[in-house]
Chains A and B, each alone.
Chain A
């Protein structure tokens, strides 16, 4: 009978792709993230949910050292990617960000052609040897991002001329062109209409066969729809982390319960 249950979302791996231990983040005096321990699984979509200012985006930005760009931010504790400390002095943040890609809330294509938007990453990281190989990467990335059919005849038109949903999928194609191992998404659908949102969600589900996806979302329904694991953040603490079906039917912490049922937490 257990095979017939749909409540537990299956994950293809139970090995940790990224691990965080005792992570603290300070913005100046402000203690934004307090002692976060989490294992991000391989081949899994993990959703971070929580009210505004709870620390979920802050933590997401720790995972590819985006907080390095904030001068007053201090990150303590340990974050590992495949067992390797990403805050080690020997790690180049730019190379790290090619392995841990990011998609932002608002579509932000470069003011370049569709082709160049996607080709940019592989070019600067020297991932391709020939024009033919680069063409192939651009095509594959656009196909994975479910955008190829819509843009294949106008690859040299400006990326900024696409619709909002197409621009966001272009940004996803750009992020996956460097073959990252983890894809971070910060509210990737908040500027999109429901149809474009559904397309991006479908895409996220397809992407997890190749990467771990971590998504920050304010839409709890979206977290429930796309993720296999959900982490709930509140006032800088990671309150609860577990299988998505369990979090949404039977959360163990009263704060999680209050938040996901829409009560004052």
Chain B
């Protein structure tokens, strides 16, 4: 990657500006995910409400990043790694915006679940899965800042762990539902939450792939290892 400065130094300032916004967005999304999972686990409605309100800031940041990138393309005509940086910034911002929505959706379900009986161990499992996913997201963004394709490749491989956690949680919920039909409503909500967190892992992978594109100029063409996306249903729990 190119670490030299541009002859036109305001070009560097513009590029650094949009990248700083993406990093700020990343920090907000990570915090929203962790807070939402904590609110779920500790039944903290206040914290959940804060996460919901906070998503507005994330959405506004994405919009600003989009505008700034459009200006940069129109006014600076970026090429080569500069062009790839702008394209990558736009896609990472879109990925993060989606992750913010998932955190908000999780927070929305907290007051609903608070009205229901506790499903033993479920919110703890979800909180652990959230921590794993947030770490993945953080590493994807660190790989971006350091322009580290190896680290990005590692993130792609580690998404498999999240898929495995999701499958385990899916089976756990299924067991609860089969044991006691009064758990079904709560478990359906919890399952949507788990599925959304699993999707955040996919967005982290998407960011990692953008980093590889940014550094090498080409998207990774190898298939990443994947567990079956849909776990086998009901066989062992019956």
B-contacting residues of A (Cβ < 8 Å)?
220-221, 224, 248-251, 254, 256-258, 260-264
- 9 extra A-B contacts, CB within 8 A, seeds A249-B217, A263-B6, A264-B7: A220-B79, A249-B79, A249-B83, A250-B80, A250-B84, A250-B217, A250-B218, A251-B80, A263-B2
Task: Output the least CB separation between B86 and chain A (Å).
Answer: 12
Q: Is the CB of B7 within 8 A of A257?
A: no
Q: Which interface class (under 10, 10 to 19, 20 to 34, 35 or more) fits B?
A: 10 to 19
Q: Is the CB of A261 within 8 A of B5?
A: no
Which 5 A-B pairs have CB atoms at the shortest separation, nearest pair first? A250-B217, A263-B4, A260-B79, A248-B79, A261-B82
* A/B interface sample: 9 pairs, CB < 8 A: A250-B218, A261-B2, A261-B79, A261-B81, A261-B82, A262-B8, A263-B5, A264-B5, A264-B7
Give the residue name and chain of the A residue nearest to B78 (CB): A261
Complex Cα spacing A261 to B84, Å: 11
Q: Is the CB of A249 within 8 A of B6?
A: no
Does B77 sit within 8 A of A, measured CB to CB? yes
Does B11 sit within 8 A of A, measured CB to CB? yes
Q: Is the CB of B80 within 8 A of A260?
A: yes
Q: Is the CB of A249 within 8 A of B4?
A: no
Complex Cα spacing A251 to B81, Å: 9
* Contact (A248, B80) CB under 8 Å given A262-B8, A263-B7, A264-B7: yes
Complex Cα spacing A264 to B217, Å: 21
Q: Is the CB of A258 within 8 A of B4?
A: yes
Task: Output the least CB separation between B66 and chain A (Å).
Answer: 21
Mask for B61-86, Cβ within 8 A of A = 1, else 0?
Answer: 00000000000000001111111100
Q: Is the CB of B6 within 8 A of A261?
A: yes
* Contact (A254, B80) CB under 8 Å given A262-B11, A264-B7: no
Q: Is the CB of A257 within 8 A of B77?
A: no
Q: Is the CB of A221 within 8 A of B218?
A: no
Which of B7, B78, B79, B84 gathers most chain A CB within 10 Å? Answer: B79
Q: Please give, as numbers and ranges, the residues of chain B lying within 8 Å of A224 by CB-CB distance.
A: 79
Q: Please give, as numbers and ranges, the residues of chain A lying within 8 Å of B11 by CB-CB distance.
A: 262
Q: Please give, as numbers and ranges, the residues of chain B lying within 8 Å of A264 by CB-CB distance.
A: 4-5, 7
Complex Cα spacing A164 to B126, Å: 71
Which of A221, A251, A258, A261 gathers most chain B CB within 10 Å? Answer: A261
Complex Cα spacing A260 to B79, Å: 7
Give the residue name and chain of the B residue nearest to A224 (CB): B79
Give the residue name and chain of the A residue nearest to B82 (CB): A261
Task: Output the least CB separation between B147 and chain A (Å).
Answer: 13
Tell me the chain B residues, 1-38 only, with Cβ under 8 Å from chain A.
Answer: 2, 4-8, 11
Q: Is the CB of B5 within 8 A of A257?
A: no
